[in-house]
Structure 1
Amino acid sequence: MRSYSDKGIAITESFEGLRLVAYQDSVGVWTIGYGHTKGVKAGDTCTAAQADRWLREDVAWAEDCVNRLVKTSITQNQFDALVDFTFNLGCKSLEGSELLRLVNAGRYADAACQFARWNHAGGKVVAGLTRRRAAEATLFVIGLIS
């Protein structure tokens, strides 16, 4: 079983951003810390240390999902890219994706092209998601040569 690396955590932190006061994300979900949503409501606050703990706890399900669904050998960079993708979009998104099908077929270069398709929220292209998917794809491709 692979674990999410510090490099992966840093990518998630950079795209989630640290917010110490609860806010509603682009689709209206109450969020705090680095994308933490469980039990969050308006007016909630946290410390940076709590946000770090929550993130480590929150990515565990995404790690489990990737470990369970990926049936072929992948590098740490590829694993990290898939965990960030899954953390942001959910296990069901990965499970039903062409991205996963291509990974499991060993078609890694083709799989890398699939990240860009997942840049919508609320039916609209979101610039931040476009940047995040590009970063994941880049990390995934680096995994091809590492």
Structure 2
Amino acid sequence: MNRKPIFDAVRKLLGRGFTADEVAAIDRAIDMATGALPANVAPEPPDTPTVPERKAEPRALGAAGEKLIKAWESCGRLRADGKYDAYPDPGSADGKPWTIGWGSTGADIARGTVWTQAQCDARFAQEIQRYAAEVERAIGDAPTSANQFDALVSFHYNTGAIFSASLTTLHKQGKFAQAAAEFGKWIYNNHKPMTGLVKRRAAEAKLYSTP
């Protein structure tokens, strides 16, 4: 930067020359005003822009998994008015847990509970996100295909056992053939094998093993 015009203008206003201290003071003022640095001061490196860390989107149940689950958790007990009645578990001694819609259970579902189709669909959409998140947490960063993930979510939605099953451990170890064989062990309700569970576990194992 050519500072001479500035000094000339100030000198003209003062009607005299500058002392050494005045020259230094004016230089400092110019440096501050323009962001300039003395010759013997190295400029600081520019700040590196901070890029916010992008969080991975949580995995969601795919179309194949939803189709499988809804094939086995079909909305049953349709009433004449188009609504659905809760029904007892067919394999338990006391009928618990009472179920409604797409396999939904819980403290708010008992004998006499009636839902619309919209309620059934909304509850499933809400619950399946939690089950998918639990499966994702259980398997961690283990390599998992979309079909494997969907099969595991279906298994967990029906059994609630993703954190305790040997199936999960084998999957995390990459022993996929052995993991697929584990599905067939989860066919009991109230200590009795259930035909429906045998078929469902076979369907889950098939999806799990499909590339």
TM-score under structure 2 length normalisation: 0.64
Give me the whole-angstrom Cα distance separating, in 2, the residues matched to 1:46 and 1:7.
26
Moved more, 27-36 or 112-121: 27-36
For residue 113 of structure 1, what is the aligned residue in structure 2?
A: 181
2:86 to 18, 22, 25: 22
Does 1:88 pair with 2:158?
yes
Is residue 133 of structure 2 the alignment partner of residue 64 of structure 1?
yes
Separation of aligned partners in 2, 1:127 and 1:64: 29
Shift of 1:95: 1.3
Offset at residue 9 of structure 1 (A): 1.3
**Gapped runs of 5+ residues in structure 1?**
none
Which residue is 1:9 aligned to? 66
Distance (Å, rounded) in 1 between the aligned partners of 2:146 and 2:163:
19
Cα distance, 1:49 vs structure 2: 2.1
Q: Rg bigger for which structure?
A: 2
Q: CA RMSD in A?
A: 1.1
For residues 50 and 8 of structure 1, the distance between their equivalents in structure 2, rounded to whole angstroms, comes to 21
Gaps of 5+ in 2: 1-57, 77-83
Name the structure with the higher helix share.
Answer: 1
Aligned-pair distance for 1:5? 1.2
Aligned residues: 141
Partner residue of 1:133 out of 201, 208, 211: 201
Supply the distance in 1 between the matched residues of 2:155 and 2:133 (Cα, whole angstroms): 13
Kindly report structure 1 stretches of 4+ aligned residues shifted beyond 2 Å. Answer: none
More strand by share: 1
Secondary structure of 1:31's match? coil
**1:6 positional shift:** 2.2
Structure-1-length-normalised TM-score: 0.92
Q: Secondary structure of the equivalent of 2:162?
A: helix
Is 1:37 the counterpart of 2:101 in the alignment? no
Output one character per residue of 1:16-43: Cα deviation in whole Å (capped at 9) or x when no partner: 1212111111222111101111211211
In the alignment, the residues of structure 2 paired with residue 65 and residue 74 of structure 1 have an alpha-carbon distance, to the nearest angstrom, of: 14
Q: Compared with structure 1, are the counterparts of its residues 49 and 6 closer, same or farther at alpha carbon in structure 2 (3 Å cutoff)?
A: farther
Identical pairs, percent: 34
